[in-house]
Amino acid sequence: MDSRQGHPEPDSESPPVPRSPKLKASSKLNRWSMARALRSGVKIIDRPINAPHRQATTEEADRKTSAIDGDDVAAGKSIYLVSDGTGWTAEHSVNAALGQFEDRLVNRGCSVNTHLFSWVEDEEKLLEIINQAAKQKAMCFYTLANPSMSKSAKEACDQLGVLSVDILGPIIEGIASHLGVSPSGLTRGAPGRVKTLNDAYFKRIEAIEFTIKQDDGTLPENLGKADIILVGVSRTGKTPLSTYIAQKGYKVANVPFVMGVEPPKTLFEVEPRKVFALTIQLVVLQAIRRTRAKTLGVDTEGENRYSGFDLVRKELDFASKIYAKNPGWAVIDVTNKAIEETAAVILRLYHDSSDSSTSVPCISKRF
């Protein structure tokens, strides 16, 4: 399961970014936006968040109200995600679960709209959202650290007939019982929880910066400093895969394999277990290349040079021969795999060779 992995888009058909923003507002929204803005550090004096150009007319507010009343829910079923933090956990889990309803979503008997509400830290705001959920006939998922807030959420949902699920509650309870200690009940923004930015966090940031500087074979002299090195021909997904793995705290370098060009010497000097050689089915790569050439607006001759069947085959052969000469490299077929799937394969193989206290391969971490 674990579909989509905090990246809601892979299985969704509509682009994630709304392209035609419209103005909207309400007095409540403005008050609340201002409060949020102050907390988020926006300099209100310089540029109020409810500046004139972002304010809405009364008509617009009216339109909005009728929308809230549920007149336009024909578009699809709504799911509310309410969090006292960033909301990524709720988003991630619900997107993964939606993977179990692909048929429904693809056939569009009914589409699903998710609405993510983050930093909901007071009860008034919480109840306002749940009231809206009831009006929209939405269901509600929540991740609220403060026990009194999650209790309120449950009670309000039950009372208003809103189907609700507490996502993190059972997980926290399980851990509390296992460790024999009580959870703090502190939200992400609470004063007691300010030490998020520790050494490990800065190591992660460093990994991301390393990975970007190292992209596309730049600085081969630094390959030895990488935790993981990806090699493969053009369009095997090295770049997005690198940045995805970097987000998890690993320094990733990638080296493109171009026919006739010898890879940098340093590549053959690093530990082979760090090198992951990407391969892909010929026809799939050719199709991806053809699409790419169109996107770039390359002319027909250039396109043929890049995506011609024979040339793509030769390039894959060229790479395969180098792979064969380096038996210590793991060869990963990325055909039809999403980057998070390939990342999971790579990280597992990477950790396979490390010490572990279990008899089956796993990724172990200490907190």
Return the C-alpha torsion angle 154, 155, 161, 163, nearest 10.
10
Distance CA 243, CA 249 (A): 10
d(CA 277, CA 238): 10
Contact between 251 and 215 (Cβ < 8 Å): no
CA distance 146 to 84: 9
C-alpha Rg value of the chain to the nearest Å: 25
Segment contacting a copy of itself by CB under 8 A, of 241-249, 255-263, 301-309, 310-318: 241-249
Q: Which of 122, 185, 266, 270 binds a copy of itself (CB under 8 A)?
A: 185
Closest CA to 341 of 286, 298, 278: 278
Residues binding a copy of itself: what is the number (CB under 8 A)? Answer: 184
Looking at 130, 153, 157, 167, which residue binds a copy of itself (CB under 8 A)? 167
Interface of this chain with a copy of itself, residues 205 to 234, rule: CB under 8 A: 205-206, 208-209, 212, 215, 227
Shortest distance (Å) from residue 225 CB to a copy of itself? 12
191 binds a copy of itself (CB under 8 A): no
Which amino acid type is present at position 138? A
Alpha-carbon span 214 to 211, nearest angstrom: 5
Q: Least distance to a copy of itself from the beta carbon of 237, Å?
A: 7
Closest to a copy of itself by CB, 301 vs 333, is 333
Q: Which of residues 2-61 bind a copy of itself (CB under 8 A)?
A: 2-3, 5-18, 20-24, 26, 28-29, 32-33, 36, 40-43, 46-47, 49, 51, 53-54
C-alpha dihedral sign at 29, 34, 37, 38: negative
- Yes or no: say if 329 and 277 are a contact pair by the CB < 8 Å rule: yes
Does 352 interact with a copy of itself (rule: CB under 8 A)? yes
The one-letter amino acid code at 29 reads L
The residue (of 10 and 224) whose beta carbon lies closer to a copy of itself is 10
Counting contacts by CB under 8 A, is residue 194 touching a copy of itself?
A: yes
Shortest Å, Cβ 10 to a copy of itself:
4
Q: Kindly give the interhelix angle for 147-160 and 123-135, rounded to the nearest 10 degrees.
A: 30
Residues 288-317 contacting a copy of itself, CB under 8 A: 291, 295
Site for a copy of itself in 106-125 (CB under 8 A): 106, 110-119, 125
- Out of 234, 279, 286, 307, the residue judged to bind a copy of itself by CB under 8 A: 279
